Amino acid sequence: MGNSLAYSSITKKIIMSLAGLFLISFLLVHLGINLLILFDKTYESFNMAAHFMATNPLIQVFQWVLFIGFIIHIIYGIIVQIQNWSARPVKYMKKGYSELSYFSKFMIHTGVVVFIFLIIHFANFFIVAKFGHVEEITYKSGTYENMGAVVFETFKIGWYVVFYVLALLLLGFHLEHGIQSAFQSLGFNHWRYTPVIKIIGTLFSILITLGFLAIPLVIYFT
Amino acid sequence: MDLTLKIWRQASAKAKGQFVNYQVQNISAEASFLEMLDILNESLVAKGEEPVAFDHDCREGICGACSLYINGRPHGPDRGITTCQMHMRNFKHGETIIIEPWRAKPFPVIKDLMVDRSSFDEIIQAGGFVSVRTGGIPDANSIPIPRRNAELAMDAAACIGCGACVAACKNASAMLFVSAKVSQFALLPQGRVEAQERVQRMVAKMDELGFGNCTNTYACEAECPKEISVSNIARMNREFLSAKLISHKTF
């Protein structure tokens, strides 16, 4: 990490792309487990999944890999952004508007909000689950910490739901540019497949965002 | 048509610059943008004032000398065209036109609207050539080249090195220019031999000069007067990655 500044511009972008695509795998797993909460009023399947994620040894190792992935993506994002700002010391009077990939203009902004969200989110759920006291609940399949109830209570707090919705929308915008951009940075640009990647990337961003948003909105309004 | 021009004036590289307003009257819609500036300059000379300095040479869209960031767009509002080929019919009577020089750390202003683009030359000097004589024009089909590669190499070679990509990019990145120069060689057999060394040297020079990193906004492609495709950037990324991974020499 010490000579990360010395890496070439392309190397930095390749590292960011790989880290970013890796983080998407985490979003998918997270969303899959989250959605369980909507389909089971007793939270049994959700609590079981949460218990599995908190205790499975493979997941415990993987969670550190994930953490490193976040750190790499964020650090390189900041380095690249600072270099990019300093590449134009005198700004234009009239701002350019010719960008074709619209959300690419706001990657640092959406990224920062998502990062702040992550910290708060981490404090609310991860820290509580790991170190706080969560009441246990017994089902036929066994006894688990009732994380479902923690989620339910948190999503009854109005301001938190508003912040959650906002942050997830911005995450969607971040992904909308990020997914297709990662393929381009990795050197993948094909006359036939690139348009397909762009469509899949956009659909994926919309579905991921809607999936995550469904949970707080359904809990808050029911 | 009558127009108000808001032009960046800067006496020298060291001097502090500012925007100055000028009025021009009776400009024909058929005049090119540079002809409109010529008319302004003639009136300034007649009044004993310093004319506005701007780069231009061939005025037929092939030399890459003209620049100008016009109303927030390099080479003005038209697509796929240089400033010299852009005509006043793109503007309306009474409009205010803001004219700025290219803005990037590696493109310092020399005077008014002229910038020093020799950093592009430095990138070419770093590897944008074939270092042995490849002889005269070879006999037809003596070196087989797939038609697709010939077309792509020709498209990349259409780059005139004007710097609009850098000017348009929110990061002042030179990736479109460098990737076009890398691609035009990498796609052809004579250039292929040194391809791995070339891409590393040119990217290293580009970074050293202080151009920004590519964030795939694709503003460069939208503003390029020769409509160079960003697929060249992906090709350069591939070339660079494979050179770093398998080349005997790394830089």
Is A69 within a domain? yes
Greatest extent of chain A over all pairs of C-alpha atoms, in Å = 68
Where are the strands (E) in chain A, listed by range?
136-139, 142-145
Q: Does the structure show a pLDDT above 90 at B226?
A: yes
pLDDT tens by residue, B64-118: 999 999 999 999 998 999 999 999 999 999 999 999 999 999 999 999 999 999 9
Does A93 reach chain B within 8 Å, measured CB to CB? yes
**How many residues does this entry show for chain A?**
222
From chain B residues 197-216, the ones with a CB under 8 A of any chain A CB are 203-204, 206-207, 210-216
CA distance A81 to A77: 6
Assess B89–A contact: CB distance below 8 Å, yes or no.
no
Examine the domain organization and report whether B76 and B166 are in the same domain: no
- Residue B154, Cβ neighbours under 10 Å: how many? 12
Q: Is the pLDDT of residue A99 over 80?
A: no
* Domain count for chain B: 2
Window 174-193 of A: residues touching B by CB (8 A cutoff) are: 177, 180-181, 184-189, 191
Rama region for B73: left / alpha / beta (φ>0; ψ in -120 to 50; rest): beta
Same domain, yes or no, for B74 and B136? no
Is residue A94 a part of any domain in this protein? no
CA distance B228 to chain A (A): 14
> Could you tell me whether strands B3-9 and B96-100 are parallel, antiparallel, or unpaired per DSSP bridges?
parallel
Q: For residue B94, is it within any domain?
A: yes
Q: What is the pLDDT of residue A136?
A: 87
Could you tell me which residues come within 8 angstroms of residue A191 by beta carbon, excluding any fewer than 6 positions away? Answer: B231
Band (pLDDT 50/70/90 cuts) for residue B123 is very high
Does A126 score more than 60 pLDDT?
yes
Q: Residue A67's closest CA among A126, A13, A107, A7? A: A126
Residues of B in contact with A97 (CB under 8 A): 72-73
Nearest residue of B to residue A192, measured between CA atoms: B231
Given pLDDT bands bounded at 50, 70 and 90, which one contains residue B251? confident
> Could you tell me if residue A2 is inside a domain?
no
CB of A198 within 8 A of CB of A177? Answer: no
pLDDT at B250 over 50: yes
Q: How far apart are CA A37 and CA A42, in angstroms?
A: 9
Q: State whether B173 and A188 contact (CB < 8 Å).
A: no
Q: For residue range A4-57, what is the model confidence (pLDDT) as tens digits?
A: 567 899 999 999 999 999 999 999 999 999 999 998 888 999 999 999 998 999
User: Is the same domain home to B153 and B226?
Assistant: yes
User: Is B251 a member of any domain?
Assistant: no
Q: For residue A63, tell me if it sits in a domain.
A: yes
Same domain, B49 and B123: no
Give me the pLDDT at residue A140, please.
Answer: 85
Q: B129-179, pLDDT tens digit by residue?
A: 999 888 888 898 898 999 999 999 999 999 999 999 999 999 999 999 999
CATH code, domain carrying A142: 1.20.1300.10
> Has residue A127 been placed in a domain?
yes
pLDDT of residue A2: 44
pLDDT above 50 for B25: yes
A99 located within any domain: no
**Containing structural domain, residue B213:** 118-246
Nearest chain A Cα distance for residue B95, angstroms: 15
Phi-psi region of A28 (alpha: psi -120 to 50; beta: other; left: phi over 0): alpha
Residues 146-185 in B contacting A (C-alpha not used; CB under 8 Å): 168, 170-173, 175
Number of domains into which chain A is organized: 1
Please name the member of B72, B238, B244 whose beta carbon is closest to the beta carbon of A95: B72
Nearest to A84 among B69, B98, B212 (CB): B212
From the CA atom positions of chain A, what is the Rg in Å? Answer: 20
Region A147-175: mean pLDDT is 93
pLDDT at B237 (0 to 100) = 97
Q: How confident is the model at residue A3 (pLDDT cuts 50, 70, 90)?
A: low
pLDDT of residue B109: 97
